[in-house]
Amino acid sequence: MAQKTSIPSGTRDFLPHEMLRRNYIFDTIRSVFKQYGYVPIETPAMENLSTLLGKYGEEGDKLLYRILNSGDAFAAVEPSDLANRNLLSAKICEKGLRYDLTVPFARFVVQHQQDIVFPFKRYQIQPVWRADRPQKGRYREFYQCDADVIGSRSILNEVELVQMVDAVFTQLNIPVTVKINNRKVLSGIAEVMGAAERLIDITIAIDKIDKIGREAVLNELKNKGITEAAIQQLLPILTLSGTNEEQLTRLSDILSASLIGLQGIEELHTIFNYLEMLKLQQTVELDLSLARGLNYYTGAIFEVKANEVTIGSLCGGGRYDDLTGVFGLKDVSGVGISFGADRIYDVLNTLNRFPEATMEHTKVLFLNLGMQESLKAIEYLKAVRAAGIPAEIYPETAKMKKQMEYADKKAIPYVIIIGEEELQCNILSFKDMHSGEQKKTDFEALIKCFLC
């Protein structure tokens, strides 16, 4: 019996037309990164678990894929170890697949600090893995497209990152809303709630408002031991309305007793003032419920939502002041964003917004009608490719109908026919597969036609 073929849940194969569309997304994002002065790097798919663990919070650590040690991974395991899952895991798994690109980037910066120039602006387009529950827009293997600048505390970096978000989604023809908040503001909220020591619990909960609703979030806070009085302090903040400026002014009054909260508000004022002057194409708004669950964020945080499709965030990021500190390089601030290419693909697909150009591959097919004909076709084919025109020849001598069907199935727009008559007259027959029109021409005229 033949083995049933399958792939792991939460992963996908990509057919050629899907890869062409994915490359359109990657190329668009990459072009914007380069335009703003970012340079590419790559890091390994797997990192030492000591690099990854403890950087994403308790929930994130649960989603890390651990890699079983090579060889006899259980050689050093004692029977008593089997009762202690954490100890057993540490003994048999020393490496894991990367959860995101930011923590490996921090490790990279520390390891190569003598080889890079600060502020260091890097972009990285690679896959990451999370042992999450697969659902629409959420996969276990997916690509992130990251841009980070590290070694600078300037708010101008945040402003430029929002400009890059605006440029990418404008070029992709996806209307979005860029939501902005600041973790210092969230710290200030926790202070005025009288629950500063519970900041992580509070941020993890309110970050779920879009997913589970306000009432469910309030119940979660109660279940975590946040007092009713503290929750009542939070409610007016989560229900603020008005323009970005009006909300920040009101928030300044509410957080007047919190120094860190006021620092966050001042940073948001600065960002919104710059963005107002720049007149961006996309909507930018303050969202005080935005928390971004990752524990390493310390300042401005961003999240991008599609306006016309219900799906998770298409892009996110924020400021992290000392992520490199855990690897021995203290007091180096960074800020970055990450585009989720897979969700962007789903949005473009749902909205039918992929341009026709993303489907272009082979533009010309030379038919193979015999030895002498194919020799001439190969000669022409070399010149066509040298002119930058994607082209191929049917590899076997076969009936013309079969070769035409091949061109039709691959959506190749033009077919070149070289038969006995064409050989004798030093011409070729040129067929437009869309219109069905066929004409005879010489090679020079054909090239000019393709290049015009």
**pLDDT digits over 307-353, tens only?**
999 988 999 999 988 888 888 899 899 999 999 999 999 999 999 99
Which amino acid is present at 24? Y
pLDDT band, very low/low/confident/very high, at 87 (cuts 50, 70, 90):
low
User: Smallest Cα–Cα separation from 272: which of 288, 285, 263?
Assistant: 285
Do both 163 and 25 map to the same domain?
Answer: yes
Final residue in a domain of this structure, among 304, 328, 351: 351
**Mean pLDDT, the chain, as a whole number?**
89
391 or 134, greater pLDDT: 391
Handedness of CA 254, 292, 290, 144 (dihedral sign): positive
Range of the domain at 344: 18-42+105-351
Do both 336 and 440 map to the same domain?
Answer: no
pLDDT above 80: residue 267 = yes
DSSP assignment of 27-42: HHHHHHHHHTT-EE--
Do both 339 and 373 map to the same domain?
Answer: no
Do both 254 and 334 map to the same domain?
Answer: yes
* Per-residue pLDDT, 126: 97
Count of domains forming the chain: 2
Give the model confidence (pLDDT) of 211-222 as tens digits: 788 888 888 888
pLDDT above 90: residue 60 = no
CATH of the domain at 192: 3.30.930.10
| SS3 at position 19 | helix
Q: Is residue 298 part of a domain?
A: yes
Q: Is residue 1 part of a domain?
A: no
pLDDT band, very low/low/confident/very high, at 73 (cuts 50, 70, 90):
low
Q: Is residue 50 part of a domain?
A: no
Do both 342 and 390 map to the same domain?
Answer: no
Do both 211 and 335 map to the same domain?
Answer: yes
Q: Is residue 252 part of a domain?
A: yes
Q: Is residue 76 part of a domain?
A: no
pLDDT above 80: residue 289 = yes
pLDDT above 70: residue 294 = no
Give the model confidence (pLDDT) of 159-182 as tens digits: 999 999 999 999 999 999 999 999
Do both 365 and 323 map to the same domain?
Answer: no
CA distances from 132 to 9, 125, 292, 311, 320 (A): 10, 21, 17, 16, 24
Q: Is residue 87 part of a domain?
A: no
Non-local (6+) Cβ contacts of 220 within 8 A are 205, 208, 212
Do both 368 and 345 map to the same domain?
Answer: no
Do both 226 and 370 map to the same domain?
Answer: no
69 or 47, greater pLDDT: 47
Do both 382 and 295 map to the same domain?
Answer: no
* Per-residue pLDDT, 111: 95
Do both 320 and 371 map to the same domain?
Answer: no
